[in-house]
Structure 1
Amino acid sequence: MTLPLDGVRVLDLTDGLGESSGRYLADLGAEVIRIEMPGGSRSRAAEPVVDGVSIPFALRNANKLGITLDLDTDAGRERLRGLAAGADILIESLHPGRLSEYGVGANEIRSVAPGLVWVSISGFGQTGPYRDWVATEQVLYGLSGVLSRSGAPGAEPLLPPTGLVEETVGAHAAWAALLAYHRRLGTGRGETVDVSAFEAMVHGFDPGFGTQGSAAAARSEDFPRGRPNAANFYPVFPCKDGHVRICLLARRQWRGMFEWLGEPEEFADPKYDTIPARFVAADTLHPLIEQLFSAYTQTELVAEGARRGVPVGGVHTLAEVLTTEHFAASGSLVDAEIAPGLRARVPSGYVRVGGDRAGIRTRAPQLGEHNDRAFAARDIVAGTGDPSSAPLAGLRVLDLGVIVFGAELSRQFADYGADVIKIENANFPDGLRQSKRGAALAASVAWGHRNKRSLGIDLRSPEGVDLFRRLVTDADVVLANFKPGTLASMGLSYETLAEINPRVVVSESSAFGSTGPWRTRLGYGPLVRASCGVSALWRYPDDEELLCDGQTVYPDHIAAHVTAIAVLAALIDRRRTGRGTNLEVAQADTALVQLGTQLVTEGLRPGTITAPGNVDPYAAPSGVYACAGDDEWCVVTVRDDDEWAALCGVVDRPDLVGDRRFATNPQRIAHRGEVDGIIATWLRDRDPREATAVLQAAGVPAGAMLRLPQLLTDPQLTARATYTTVEHELLPTPLSATARVAVFGEIADPPTRQAPLAGEQTRQICAELLGLDDAEIDALVRSGVLQPPATDPALVREVATG
């Protein structure tokens, strides 16, 4: 199997945060060389550890080669310079400035390897007032605004499962790296890339100021206290053998549920066709559904829901996920060696390329395992393109995508220079355009479709399909996220499009993929999360029915990033082969990969992984602690003895450093109640942001729980100008929005051209790309094949003439 990044060499100096970026590039075929100091990286001991093997290290370093270099020696530094001279990308996650202290930082290395793409990953970025702060997943959940929307109203906020942060950061780093590398192929110029994990979470996990589905944007300084009452958005009900979740969004889905309930008179009013009305009536409606569902199994309810058009999905535990037939049949979970002599059921990988899974092939390397391997010198081909051009300039993307995933995927390409043409049908409008909530334009449209053009066309007509095929002739990419088989049923399968244009890359995405017994299931993010085990872990430990993931659209945003990386990798490969390919990403696979550590550990040690709540099972003290004020909280995680000693100094209890009960991490875990009480008492009367600053200054990982409006004034985000604004003539005020995926040395920040109206550039695109004259366009508009806005001359004339 030839993978799209075959021939690309990556040097990987990450340790913990960002390791998954190199893993994904390796999955896609890159030769990734993991470089460690002779003593090994800290992440080799990252918990959970099973039979002496760190599970997160094993998963995030599979498919890589491993060598050691002693950067304290001249020989080690010289070897790194030599390797860098023949590499395409270097990814590191050491403390900002650490490699420069060795004399092998970005400036020093790129002076001898000017074509190298250097990617630095850090908790908060290479610049700004938080530059030297310590980041853990829990701290990043707190600071990013995610924590403030997670949990039950009136209760303490609830940390989501671990793993999702690291993989989100890794995906951002991989996308930024390939953007810069794609530019290098055209211009010969390398790049420095500054990836902030904080910013990746703010903009990439479930952004408050971005394409968002159900996540409420905070455009008011008066943001409410307590968690949003989100449990009824995607409610969970017990059944005969577990729990199921329903996801009633469209009117037709509610009508199916109404009929299933026997058409109760109290819900016959048409007002219940709307989500807000059903939400208000949940206390009456949901007991009816619960009574109905109690007599059926998960399988029966899912099947009956599918028959009636009601999205229903099982809420699966990790143990159930590991034995689910669909994940085995689809290749999402496979048995593989993850360390010498240790096999486990693992998530295979994110994507299929040309029908084959680009996933795990070889186990993670032992320390220095490939020290004796000779890495051949390589010539770095220098391009001659204009380095001031956007990295994706010249590419054309035909975007059939819908809702959050579709908008976010194509936006990555539009932001960085591709001509993205959103294909729209007025008879079946994108769900984002239907969520205006009284406004002239949905904010999510302004966020998600900036920098794009819109073509209104009826692809259910033969003439419309013919026009689309003509567009494919000169297109580079076709994106879709319909139910599997939809493109083929429209006469637009990859095979058909490749006959028209062998260079085209076609990406199809769906909830559960095109193979396996769940391939036809209705899929939304809430059902994907529930089916993959994420929801079962995103709850308070003492309440298995109170799932707390209702205020998020995960994994839509990050699955879009994952897909963008695969598409760009295929475009890079096309430079070498001259051929396109077909890609497939199941959103479920994104969730499974990102929950991989828990899944593998549960498979190896059944019954050991349960919903941890706010407690890190492997560190103490750790948790979310109340601070002074109304609903103010601070996240603190102490991972080792040095951080414990630093904490003792902050709370003015130096005597505790020598206390035998707390001398080691295992002992502190055994006395968790006491050590938690110490930090809880200290925080109780303090402002969370001031306390965070004091703890971080001492080297203790801590983060205040920020609400969304606070992100706009946060000192770190402000210093790094991480927000820009998008405007639209149909919106009363500008919207804060993500400024960039990462800070680049030379690549400019994306423009913020306003999102198009549906069909706004129809006439322009047909004339420019298809060569149609005004008379031909007019005729197609009058027949409904082309669908420009109502202000189009042909429609105005038709109205005027009666």
Structure 2
Amino acid sequence: MAVSAFSQEGSSLPLAGVRVVDMAEGKAEMCGRYLADLGAEVIRVEPPGGAASRFREPVVNGVSLYFATRNAGKRGIVLDLEKVDDRARLLRLLETADIFLETERPGALDELGLGARTLRESLPSLVVVSISDFGQTGPYRDWVATNWTHLAMGGVLSRSGMPGRPPLMPPGGLAYESAAVQAAWAALLAYTNRLDTGRGDHVDCSVYEMTAQSLDPGFGIGGSATGGRPPYEGPRGRPRPGLLYPIFPCADGHVRICLLSKRQWRGMFGWLGEPAEFADPEFDKLHVRFKAAERLYGLIGRFFAERGKEELLADGQRLGVPIAALLTPADVLQSEHFLARGGLADAEIAPGLRGRVPTGYAEINGVRAGFRHRAPSVGEHTAEVLTGEAPADEASSASAWIPAGTERRRPLEGLRVLDLGVIVVGAELGRLFADQGAEVIKVENKAFPDGSRQSTSGAEISPSFAWGHRNKVSLGLNLRSSEGVELFKRLVAESDVVLSNFKPGTLESLGLGYEVLKQVNPRLVMADSSALGSSGPWSRRMGYGPLVRASAGLTGLWRDLGVDNGFCDGVTIYPDHIAGRVGAVAVLALLIARRRSDRGGTVSVSQAETILTQMSDDFLRESLEPGSFRPRGNTGEWDAPQGVYACAGDDEWCAVTVRDDADWRALCSAIERPDLLEDVRLAGSAGRVAHRALVDEALGSWTAARPPRAVMTGLQAAGVPAGMMQRVVEYLDDPQLRARDFFRELDQPGLAAPLPTENAPATFQGLADPELRPAPRMGEHTREVCAKVLGLSDAEIESLLASGVLEEPA
């Protein structure tokens, strides 16, 4: 198979030389794909006849677009694990591997003699990553789930939709795709620890927990819409999604604006012709404009209505008004920006089938680390892989199974990270490293404060800020002074990583671009994240999450079609947390490569392309079947019943998704409707879809008489995927999360009570839980950092403080 011209050769990528055996099936298959994109040799193991996901819809010309996009870049072999000889072959293959990914139901591999404990006893350096819906332990361990049930239970559904209407399922497979990225992060953390200690690990990844942590987290840093308040302090119902980031019809579609700062409002005010009714300087304040939103948005709507998208975008950019057009998937596929950047490309995705496909998450050293070749045919590489086995590079004399009481460690201890990140994605990327032991120095300046320090209470540190910046230290440094730039370069000489998420070109304008800094420290790894990428025609556009979602086609898909202007993504902060994890995985991959090369490099992440990659199969299908990627609300496309059903109580709901005939039989038994089983019209998925109203009415009448938890537990007892719509405040008493130590408490000075906060990204044997040090005040550690890292004397520090180059709290 030819290597695609739009991606790096595998040997030049950071994970070259890492071997991954991949048995992920039907959930989080993008985990192995991302590791392959970063250069790992990923060997996909399938049963005879092929993996079940090869038959997963959407299927075009006999090709599952899900399988094709999630398994590109991998090699494929067939093993029948029911046979003793093939189990032995798998064990020999694992002897050569570094990481083993599996998604079997908990306990299934134990029955075959291939469970994590058995593998770790015989292969003590192997990192075993088990990705299951609810984890290997806890009362929900044996429950079944789908993307929709995770979105319901993970707190996303409760905040999606229009006030007073049913909650709305977001489009795409966001729960499993987000979990896949976090699983890749957990896998590389365990592998990094292996490189230092010789010990492998068993990494227990729960999709439920990873959804709650990474997609739209209730206990993580929030964006501007939260005002620093935790979600559990918000209204019980769904908030109005269009208040902060309004959307307006225009002559040829819709546009969205973000008027957050005084400067942005002044640009809009001038654009409107300075109307007298909004001339009062009080309208410079966001909360005052909110109170007048009906009048103000009416005026803007009338002004925009007769103008086209391109005209509005050009004028808005010129006047400093953050604005974006709501693109359709078809628009995205034809976008000059994503095509110029290589974020989309035409490729062979299966023998004889070509389509336009998102190419991957990240750029490494300025080149796309993504789609290199199509997914393998069934067993395509069986002979060459199984005859070409070689011993693993590193042997380990560590104990096979880490016993209770063995010292656990944080694998990133000893790393120093300079964190220039702001708001959500910047905060998350630095926090992920701080949690794992890195010394993360948040470099900030009072003249250009991090927007996440702003809160409705006026406090410098809100719960949101504490979640995003725990375990960091703060250095107050003015980078717009020549002395500040020189001090930063001195810090770079003593550091390993620099993180930023400014508008592209900002660091270069300060004289702190990578080409400059690598002369100071050739081992430096430097990462940037931006809305639309660091290159391309749109790279300098103002970027906020809502504008990113509009430009990537997501806003138009996340729409309640039952009401006018029913766009429902205005409350979410997706994809910020995911983009932070995408960057963390790539940075850690470069740090792993640096052990061999002694050279650093660059990582660049586009938030928009994070969205595209997580919806790869949908965009690919749109390229092959125009018009197929469109809003579908709460109606599943491939079987029925699949939806969100009202339960007893006020605004209570449960997501139920019948996947196949077995689920259908189990559902009919659970709701005591044997007559439905006898109805020949409903005997297959096509018949159930054709008679969706009938099956929805039957299930809906049953759920309406029961509270949501009873619906969920009753259907789960029968083996039917069901998940109640869980609100963030309900997490704290969730029996599964409590049983698995999902929460800990953070003592943050200035907050009245200990703050519930998430624990680790997965359950590890050899990795310690994150330390929980409070988030810093601005400049709180300036003196400490300057003395410890730079060796400055007290007199030098005092002089720099007096001149404003350094800053500390008042």
Length-normalised TM-score, structure 2 = 0.96
Cα deviation, residue 247, structure 1: 1.0
Match of 1:102 in 2: 112
- Structure 2 CA distance for aligned equivalents of residues 254 and 280 of structure 1: 15
Cα deviation, residue 328, structure 1: 0.6
| Paired AA for residue 390 in structure 2 | A
Question: Which secondary structure state, in structure 2, belongs to the residue aligned with residue 372 of structure 1?
Answer: helix
Which of 107, 117, 121 is the aligned partner of 2:131? 121
Which of 159, 164, 172 is the aligned partner of 1:149? 159
Q: Conserved in 1, the CA contact under 8 Å of 2:454 and 2:460? A: no
- Structure 2 CA distance for aligned equivalents of residues 119 and 498 of structure 1: 35
Which of 7, 30, 48 is the aligned partner of 2:17? 7
Which of 232, 238, 255 is the aligned partner of 2:243? 232
Q: Conserved in 1, the CA contact under 8 Å of 2:162 and 2:560? A: no
Match of 2:344 in 1: 333
Match of 1:466 in 2: 486
- Structure 1 CA distance for aligned equivalents of residues 172 and 737 of structure 2: 23
Question: Which secondary structure state, in structure 2, belongs to the residue aligned with residue 506 of structure 1?
Answer: strand
Q: Conserved in 2, the CA contact under 8 Å of 1:440 and 1:730? A: no
Which of 555, 560, 569 is the aligned partner of 2:580? 560
Match of 1:795 in 2: none
| Paired AA for residue 337 in structure 1 | E
| Paired AA for residue 279 in structure 1 | F
State how 1:38-117 maps to structure 2 within 5 Å.
38-117=48-127
Cα deviation, residue 251, structure 1: 1.6
- Structure 1 CA distance for aligned equivalents of residues 332 and 95 of structure 2: 45
Match of 1:208 in 2: 218
- Structure 2 CA distance for partners of 1:727 and 1:53, relative to 1, 3 Å: same
Match of 2:589 in 1: 569
1:527 aligns with 2:550: no
Q: Conserved in 2, the CA contact under 8 Å of 1:128 and 1:720? A: yes
Q: For 1:70-114, what per-residue CA distance to the aligned partner results, in whole angstroms no more than 9, with x for missing partners?
A: 111111111111111110000100111111110011111111110
1:322 aligns with 2:333: yes
- Structure 1 CA distance for aligned equivalents of residues 145 and 744 of structure 2: 24
Which of 293, 304, 312 is the aligned partner of 1:301? 312
Match of 1:376 in 2: 389
- Structure 1 CA distance for aligned equivalents of residues 496 and 442 of structure 2: 14
Which of 660, 663, 681 is the aligned partner of 2:680? 660
- Structure 2 CA distance for aligned equivalents of residues 121 and 215 of structure 1: 32
Match of 2:3 in 1: none
Question: Which secondary structure state, in structure 2, belongs to the residue aligned with residue 744 of structure 1?
Answer: coil
Question: Which secondary structure state, in structure 2, belongs to the residue aligned with residue 742 of structure 1?
Answer: coil
- Structure 2 CA distance for partners of 1:676 and 1:306, relative to 1, 3 Å: same
- Structure 1 CA distance for aligned equivalents of residues 280 and 209 of structure 2: 45
1:688 aligns with 2:708: yes
Q: Gaps spanning 5+ residues in structure 1: where? A: 791-802
Match of 1:610 in 2: 630
1:761 aligns with 2:771: no
Cα deviation, residue 509, structure 1: 1.3
- Structure 2 CA distance for aligned equivalents of residues 218 and 523 of structure 1: 23
- Structure 2 CA distance for aligned equivalents of residues 787 and 412 of structure 1: 26
Name the stretch that deviates more: 744-753 or 261-270.
261-270
Cα deviation, residue 367, structure 1: 1.2
- Structure 2 CA distance for partners of 1:160 and 1:704, relative to 1, 3 Å: same
Cα deviation, residue 282, structure 1: 1.4
Cα deviation, residue 437, structure 1: 2.8
Match of 1:789 in 2: 809
- Structure 2 CA distance for partners of 1:30 and 1:440, relative to 1, 3 Å: closer
Question: Which secondary structure state, in structure 2, belongs to the residue aligned with residue 404 of structure 1?
Answer: helix
Match of 1:343 in 2: 354
Q: Conserved in 2, the CA contact under 8 Å of 1:634 and 1:705? A: yes
- Structure 2 CA distance for partners of 1:668 and 1:232, relative to 1, 3 Å: same
1:622 aligns with 2:642: yes
Q: Conserved in 1, the CA contact under 8 Å of 2:229 and 2:463? A: no
1:174 aligns with 2:184: yes
1:550 aligns with 2:570: yes
- Structure 2 CA distance for aligned equivalents of residues 621 and 573 of structure 1: 48
Q: Conserved in 2, the CA contact under 8 Å of 1:668 and 1:675? A: yes
1:138 aligns with 2:151: no
Which of 633, 639, 662 is the aligned partner of 2:659? 639
Q: For 1:222-259, what per-residue CA distance to the aligned partner results, in whole angstroms no more than 9, with x for missing partners?
A: 86443111222211111121110001111211111111
Q: For 1:390-430, what per-residue CA distance to the aligned partner results, in whole angstroms no more than 9, with x for missing partners?
A: 10000000001111111000000000000000001111110
- Structure 2 CA distance for partners of 1:669 and 1:748, relative to 1, 3 Å: same
Match of 2:509 in 1: 489
- Structure 1 CA distance for aligned equivalents of residues 587 and 33 of structure 2: 17
Cα deviation, residue 435, structure 1: 2.6
- Structure 1 CA distance for aligned equivalents of residues 807 and 459 of structure 2: 22
Q: Conserved in 2, the CA contact under 8 Å of 1:219 and 1:709? A: no
- Structure 2 CA distance for partners of 1:784 and 1:220, relative to 1, 3 Å: closer
Q: Conserved in 2, the CA contact under 8 Å of 1:314 and 1:530? A: yes
Question: Which secondary structure state, in structure 2, belongs to the residue aligned with residue 345 of structure 1?
Answer: strand
Match of 1:398 in 2: 418
Match of 2:459 in 1: 439
| Paired AA for residue 376 in structure 1 | E
Q: Conserved in 2, the CA contact under 8 Å of 1:695 and 1:701? A: yes
| Paired AA for residue 697 in structure 2 | G
Q: Conserved in 2, the CA contact under 8 Å of 1:621 and 1:672? A: yes
**Residue-pair matches, total:** 790
- Structure 1 CA distance for aligned equivalents of residues 685 and 431 of structure 2: 44
- Structure 2 CA distance for partners of 1:782 and 1:225, relative to 1, 3 Å: closer
Question: Which secondary structure state, in structure 2, belongs to the residue aligned with residue 770 of structure 1?
Answer: coil
- Structure 2 CA distance for partners of 1:440 and 1:27, relative to 1, 3 Å: closer
Q: Conserved in 1, the CA contact under 8 Å of 2:460 and 2:777? A: no
Cα deviation, residue 545, structure 1: 2.5
Match of 1:751 in 2: 771
Name the stretch that deviates more: 221-230 or 274-283.
221-230
1:389 aligns with 2:409: yes
- Structure 2 CA distance for partners of 1:294 and 1:719, relative to 1, 3 Å: same
- Structure 2 CA distance for partners of 1:220 and 1:167, relative to 1, 3 Å: closer
Question: Which secondary structure state, in structure 2, belongs to the residue aligned with residue 564 of structure 1?
Answer: helix
Question: Which secondary structure state, in structure 2, belongs to the residue aligned with residue 193 of structure 1?
Answer: strand
Which of 157, 175, 185 is the aligned partner of 1:165? 175
- Structure 1 CA distance for aligned equivalents of residues 773 and 61 of structure 2: 54
Q: Conserved in 2, the CA contact under 8 Å of 1:239 and 1:298? A: yes
Question: Which secondary structure state, in structure 1, belongs to the residue aligned with residue 733 of structure 2?
Answer: coil
1:671 aligns with 2:671: no
Q: Conserved in 1, the CA contact under 8 Å of 2:365 and 2:603? A: yes
Length-normalised TM-score, structure 1 = 0.97
Q: Conserved in 2, the CA contact under 8 Å of 1:512 and 1:587? A: yes
| Paired AA for residue 479 in structure 1 | L
- Structure 2 CA distance for aligned equivalents of residues 719 and 74 of structure 1: 36
Question: Which secondary structure state, in structure 2, belongs to the residue aligned with residue 618 of structure 1?
Answer: coil
Q: For 1:725-776, what per-residue CA distance to the aligned partner results, in whole angstroms no more than 9, with x for missing partners?
A: 2221111122211111001112111011001111111111111111110111
- Structure 2 CA distance for aligned equivalents of residues 468 and 544 of structure 1: 51
- Structure 2 CA distance for aligned equivalents of residues 576 and 541 of structure 1: 54
- Structure 2 CA distance for aligned equivalents of residues 149 and 636 of structure 1: 18
Q: Conserved in 1, the CA contact under 8 Å of 2:230 and 2:463? A: no
- Structure 2 CA distance for aligned equivalents of residues 68 and 693 of structure 1: 37
Q: Conserved in 2, the CA contact under 8 Å of 1:187 and 1:384? A: no
Cα deviation, residue 206, structure 1: 1.1
Q: Conserved in 2, the CA contact under 8 Å of 1:463 and 1:785? A: yes
Question: Which secondary structure state, in structure 2, belongs to the residue aligned with residue 206 of structure 1?
Answer: coil
Q: Conserved in 2, the CA contact under 8 Å of 1:223 and 1:707? A: no
- Structure 2 CA distance for partners of 1:597 and 1:215, relative to 1, 3 Å: farther
- Structure 1 CA distance for aligned equivalents of residues 747 and 48 of structure 2: 52
Q: For 1:651-674, what per-residue CA distance to the aligned partner results, in whole angstroms no more than 9, with x for missing partners?
A: 111232232111011111111111
